[in-house]
């Protein structure tokens, strides 16, 4: 479909105008095309921002009307020819100001046609500790130099509005067949919406998830699938290793520093993390943005840790939160969800290891089905 038709269909989908076969076809198309699904999500967030603009304009109009009424009441007793003239001019051009404000919003409604042309990548770094979520897209919308209905009011009706929809990518691991995954807290913090994706054969499995439990100090977040079509992930082939890993022990990871899953291997190089943090390991696996939330597995297929970041000044110094803290967090989350969300499926820990007697390539083949790329969208709220 051409660009205009595509965005018309996206708009109709978001407004609930697609029905029956047309709706099913479009949802199937989104499931098979991750770029289209991403564009739909970006457009939804853009519309939310435009709604904020509309609301702000309405509030400004109400405040202007209130101010005018107060002004009229105050000057009712003493009104000379000059003030009468000012009021007359205001009443004359009041409708023009309202029209100009409406024109601003109408122009903004057309900005989504420039989605492809205005994407860019933003980078941010802080301290020597680098968190490994990768930025996917930054969509910027600018509307400038709006023509007023009259030259006299033109300078009062020009406005530049910028709306950002930022999305980041990282890794998430399934920790319960009933629809729960783990990733890093810094990945999903302030998210407007979260999706997970993986390729299975020639199709893309894309599911919507939400954060249900988190620990900022440990930098862990538990996600749950909220997609109505989801049933189960199936039996997990690994278990959580809660005892301490040995120094120099061989470990490996699977992650999404790019769109395809990437394997990496190394060793436990220290039993403490960044600045001696006892909650983490230092491991010698090279990592890149996108590795946040990736599992660290031992040679027997046990989950040892979850990658959180790396030292920017020390090559190969990667840090991962120990699995025993994830196990404790899962217990807390289970209790919390039983109290607040008893109608949902429970969080069930993996308890049988099917990987321990398999060679590494076969371990990876079974494990990769439970490792997802997590895509997080948030909108910079400037209104």
pLDDT in tens, 40-75: 888 888 887 777 777 777 777 776 776 566 555 555
Residues 292, 261 share a domain: yes
Q: How buried is residue 59: exposed, middle or buried, by Cβ count under 10 Å (0-12/13-18/19+)? A: exposed
Give the pLDDT of residue 160.
Answer: 33
Domain shared by 186 and 99, yes or no = no
Distance CA 90, CA 59 (A): 19
Measured CA angle at 127 (ends 122, 133), to 5 deg: 45
Across all residues in the chain, what is the average pLDDT? Answer: 78
**Domain final residue, candidates 142, 168, 194:** 168
Q: What is the pLDDT of residues 237-254, one digit of tens each?
A: 999 999 999 999 999 999
Domain residues for 293?
A: 169-380
Structure tokens at 164: 């950002």
Do 324 and 233 reside in the same domain of the chain?
yes
190 and 135 assigned to the same domain: no
Is 143 in the same domain as 32? yes
Point out the domain boundary residue: 111, 144, 168. Answer: 168
Do the beta carbons of residue 325 and residue 240 sit within 8 Å? no
Give Rg (Cα) of the chain: 27
- CATH (domain of 235): 2.40.10.120
pTM over 0.75: no
Q: What angle do CA 302, 303, 305 make, to 5 degrees?
A: 145
Is the pLDDT at 375 greater than 70, yes or no?
yes
What is the tally of structural domains in the chain? 2
Residue 164 has pLDDT above 50, yes or no: no
Strand runs (DSSP E) across 201-247, as ranges? 203-215, 220-225, 239-240
Comparing CA positions, the residue from 179, 257, 187 lying closest to residue 221 is 187
């Amino acid at each position: 479909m051409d660009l205009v038709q595509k965005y018309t269909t996206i708009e109709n989908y978001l407004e609930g105008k697609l029905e029956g076969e047309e709706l099913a076809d479009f949802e199937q198309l989104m499931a098979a095309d991750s770029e289209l699904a991403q564009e739909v999500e970006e457009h939804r967030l853009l519309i939310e921002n435009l709604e904020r603009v509309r609301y702000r304009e309405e509030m400004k109009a109400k405040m202007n009307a209130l101010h005018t009424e107060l002004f009229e009441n105050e000057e009712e007793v003493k009104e000379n020819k000059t003030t009468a003239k000012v009021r007359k001019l205001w009443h004359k051009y009041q409708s023009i100001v309202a029209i100009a404000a409406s024109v601003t919003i109408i122009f903004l409604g057309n900005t989504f046609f420039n989605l492809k042309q205005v994407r860019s990548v933003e980078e941010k770094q802080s301290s020597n500790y680098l968190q490994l979520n990768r930025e996917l897209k930054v969509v910027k919308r600018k509307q400038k130099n709006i023509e007023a209905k009259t030259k006299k009011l033109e300078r009062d009706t020009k406005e530049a509005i910028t709306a950002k929809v930022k999305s980041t990518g990282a890794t998430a691991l399934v920790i319960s067949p009933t629809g729960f995954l783990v990733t890093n807290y810094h990945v999903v913090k302030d998210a407007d919406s979260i999706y997970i994706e993986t390729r299975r054969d020639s199709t893309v499995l894309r599911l919507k998830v939400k954060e249900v439990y988190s620990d900022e100090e440990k930098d862990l977040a538990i996600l749950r699938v909220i997609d109505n079509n989801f049933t189960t992930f199936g039996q997990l082939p690994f278990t959580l290793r809660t005892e301490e890993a040995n120094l120099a022990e061989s470990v490996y990871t699977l992650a999404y520093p790019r769109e395809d899953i990437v394997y990496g291997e190394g060793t436990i190089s220290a039993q403490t993390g960044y600045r001696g943090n006892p909650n983490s390991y230092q491991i010698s696996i090279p990592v890149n943005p996108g590795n946040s939330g990736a599992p660290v597995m031992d040679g027997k297929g046990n989950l040892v840790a979850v990658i959180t970041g790396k030292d920017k000044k020390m090559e190969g110094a990667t840090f991962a939160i120990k699995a025993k803290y994830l196990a404790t967090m899962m217990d807390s989350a289970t209790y919390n969800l039983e109290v607040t969300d008893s109608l949902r499926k429970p969080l069930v820990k993996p308890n049988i290891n099917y990987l321990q007697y398999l060679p590494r390539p076969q371990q990876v083949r079974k494990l990769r089905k439970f490792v997802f790329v997590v895509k997080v969208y948030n909108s910079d709220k400037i209104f």
